[in-house]
Amino acid sequence: MVFSSNVFLLYFLPLFLICYFICPKKFRNYVILLFSIVFYAYGAPDFILYLLGSTVANFYLVKMMRKTEKPGLKKLHCALAIIVSLGLLVYYKYANFLIDNINALIGIFGANAIRMAKVLLPIGISFFTFQSITYVIDTYRGNNEPMEKLTDYIVYIMMFPQLIAGPIVRYCDIEGEIRHREYSAQEFLQGFNRFVIGLSKKVLIADVIGFQVDQLLAGDLSIMDSGTAWITIAAYTMQLYFDFAGYSDMAIGIGKIMGFHFPENFDNPYNSASITEFWRRWHMTLGAFMRNYLYIPLGGNRCSKRRMYFNLWVVFLLSGLWHGASWNFVIWGAYHGLWLVLERMGLKKFYEAIGKAPSVIITFIIAMVGWAIFRIEDLNQAFTFIGRLFAFDFSTFSISADAQFYTTLIVALLFSFIALFPFGKKLQDAVFYEEHTLTGTVILWVIAIFMLLFCLGALNAAGFSPFIYFRF
C-alpha cells in the first residue's frame, strides 16, 4: 500500500483516523499497531512475520543487554542485536548481488556458477533496519532506557507513516510521545496541510515529470543531443527530489496528526553551495545516521587528514551501497565521497571566493551528474549519457513533450530554489511551521481540501505510481 493510492487515501487513512480518535488515549498505540501490520501486510504479506520476528528478537536482546552488569556480556548482547538486524539486511538485500559478482569472477576461470534461488527484497527493509540499530546503540550508550512494553517497541519500529521510506526516527526523538501525546486542532491542521503538500509534490510534480524521464531514458542514449540530455537529467533531479521529499512530507504530516513530531528529512538541498552542505540538507535522517553511527566511531574529523578522507570515503561508499545492491550505487557513493574530500582539500575556499550564487549553480550541476549514475543502472549507459551531457552537441535538440511537462519542470525548479530568496524562505516557513489566525486557518483548510481533491482526480487519471525510494 502506498500513500498515493486510492486505497490508502479513500479507505485506509480515513478509517485509521476515525478509529484512532474515537479510541481512548490508552488504546491508541494498539490502533497504530493493528493498522501498521495491515498496512505492511497489504503490500508484502510474505514478509510480515520476518518483520515482526526480527523486531521481537531485537526487543528482548536489548532488554537483556541493559539488565546485565558485566561490560563484556553487555557488549555481546549489543553485537548480537546489531548482527540480527544487519545479517537479515545483508541476506535479503545483497545476496543476489554477491552471488552474481562471485559467479562473474569465477566464470573467468571456467568454474561452474553458484546456483541459488533469487532472494526477494522486503519493502522498506533498509529503513526499519537502520531504525532498529539506532535504538540498540543508543540504549547501549545510555542515551535512552529500553522500552518496557513489547507493543510500544513494535509501534516504534512499524509505525506505518515512516515504515516504508523513512524518515529514520531515533527513539530518543519521540520517546515521550510513544507513551503520551498532546493533541490540538492547530497541530492537526498543520499535519493535514503537510500531508497534502507532500501528496501534491508526488502526484502533480514528480509523476508528471517522471513519465517523460522514463520515455527519454528508454531511447538510444548514444545519439542523444546535449540539450535533451541536460533537460532529461534536470527533470530526473526534480522528479527524485519531489518524489522522496513528498513522501517525507506525507509521513511527517500523518505523524503530526497522530501527535508525533518526526525529524525533518529535507531542507532545500538544491540551495546548497557545496556538496558538504548538500548532504546536510538531503535525506537528513540518513546523513545523521551515517555521521553518528559510522563516521564518528571511525574517528570522524578528530584524526589525521588522511584518516578523515578515508572515513569520508568509507561512509559514502556504504551510503551508496545502502541505496541499492548495484555497482552504479557504489560508484555514485564514491563520486560524492570524492567531492567531499576535494572540498576539504581546498575546493571550499574556491566556493567562498566566487560567492554563493555561482557555488549553488556548480553544486547543482555536480548533483545532477551524480543523479545520472544513480538513475542509470548500466554503468556503460550511465557514462555514455554523461558523455552526451558534456559533448556540447545542440544540433538536433528536440523533445517531443507536451506543454504540461515543461510547465511542471519550470514550477519544480522555481519551488526548489525559492528559499534562496528571503521572501521565499519566509513564505515556506509560514506554510510549514507557523501557527495561523482563524482566517488563515480557514483559508489553508480550503486550499488543502481543494488540492487533495485535485490530486485524487490526477491519481484516477494517471493510475498507480510507487515512490522511488520504496526499492531501497
Give residue for cell 510549514.
Answer: 432
- C-alpha angle 209/358/370, rounded to 5°? 45
Would you say 122 and 92 are in contact if contact means Cβ atoms under 8 Å apart? yes
Write the Ramachandran bin of 398: left for phi over 0, alpha for psi from -120 to 50, otherwise beta.
beta
Active site residues: 323
* C-alpha dihedral, 179 to 185 to 186 to 189, nearest 10°: 100
Of 345, 331, 342, nearest to 386 by C-alpha is 331
Task: Give the residue from 8, 1, 28 showing the smallest Cα distance to 257.
Answer: 28
Task: Answer yes or no: are the C-beta atoms of 335 and 371 closer than 8 Å.
Answer: no
Cβ atoms of 139 and 146 closer than 8 Å: yes
- Residues 469 and 33: their CA atoms lie apart, in Å, by 23
Q: Which residues contact 168 (CB under 8 A, 6 or more apart)?
A: 127, 130, 131, 134, 162, 285, 286, 288, 289
Q: Which helix (DSSP H) or strand (DSSP E) does residue 219 occupy?
A: none
Q: Is the Cβ–Cβ distance between 58 and 85 less than 8 Å?
A: yes
Question: How far is 324 from 321, CA to CA, in rounded Å?
Answer: 5
CA distances from 97 to 25, 116, 156, 204, 380 (A): 46, 12, 30, 35, 18
Contacts of 200 (CB under 8 A, 6+ apart): 246, 451, 454, 455
Q: What DSSP string describes 158-181?
A: H-HHHHTT-----HHHHHHHHH--
